[in-house]
Amino acid sequence: MDMLQALLLGIVEGVTEFLPVSSTGHLTIVEELLGMKVDDAGVTAFTAIIQVGAIIAVVGYFARDIVALVRAWAVGLGNREQRGVDYRLAWFVIIGSIPVGIVGFLARDVISGGLRNLWVVVAALVLWSIPMVLAERVGRRIRPLEQVTIRDAVVIGLVQCLALIPGVSRSGATISAGLFLDIDRVAATRISFYLSIPALVAAGGYEAATQASAISASVGWGPTMLAMLVSLVVAWVSIAWLLRLVAHHSIVVFVWYRVALAAVVAGLLAAGVIAAA
């Protein structure tokens, strides 16, 4: 991989990681267009590792909130009288992250192999658009962040597992689940951001630790670090933009893009312009 390709992929990751359009799906599409083997161990590891840049952006953007959650959790463990909203939210993030960690680890070979297929991406882009539309129509959006419960954490955490399928979108899955639970759109989006931290750090860290030689052999650590840095900068802007957008607009605006992208990719696959894997 050359530096220009790394720059492009870093931008794609930063723009799409937190939008409900599937960053992994987009990276798979772009990597295929660039002639890369999307099921290659090094390319798969690269895709996971550069997401850490976007997560660093989340940690930086929400640093004050995250520090408050960690402090409240630590204090609350030793003092029941100090267990307030932040203490409960901290447990929300912990419990909500467990399902995707377990499923992601157990199904890692399938995720990095068979699911890295553009027909899977096309199907997931279209099919998950349906729950996104229904969530906006059914959800009452009356519950603020302060009213989330452990039950919500379990449900949203389980739904987040579906985002391991490229094309579904982790943010699309978690925001939709939050809306179905009557959580307001801004709160659901913030929850999606919080849940992304342990899930993507774990995935990126695991790939970096286990696939270091594959990265060196096929992609290179220079391009990987560049893409991660670019994704950090671009993701920061993307986070701010998304929070402003969901405060006043439905996530259905992204459905039209998802369906249009799926149609374009399906057309390229059918015409033989690009290969499915």
Give domain status of residue 276, yes or no. Answer: no
Give domain status of residue 189, yes or no. Answer: yes
What are residue 183's phi and psi, to 5 degrees? -75, 140
> 247: how many CB neighbours lie within 10 A of its CB?
11
Give domain status of residue 277, yes or no. Answer: no
Give domain status of residue 113, yes or no. Answer: yes
How many angstroms separate the CA atoms of 77 and 270, rounded?
A: 56
Give domain status of residue 259, yes or no. Answer: yes
Number of domains the chain is built from:
1
Q: What is the pTM of this model?
A: 0.87
Give domain status of residue 155, yes or no. Answer: yes
pLDDT at position 15: 92
Give domain status of residue 42, yes or no. Answer: yes
Mean pLDDT by 10 residues, the chain (277 residues): 92 91 90 84 85 89 91 90 87 91 84 81 94 93 89 92 90 93 91 86 79 83 94 93 84 93 94 85
Please report how the helices 41-49 and 185-210 are oriented relative to each other, as an axis angle in degrees rounded to 10.
Answer: 140
How many angstroms separate the CA atoms of 156 and 169, rounded?
A: 13
**Residue 124 belongs to domain spanning:** 3-270
Give domain status of residue 252, yes or no. Answer: yes
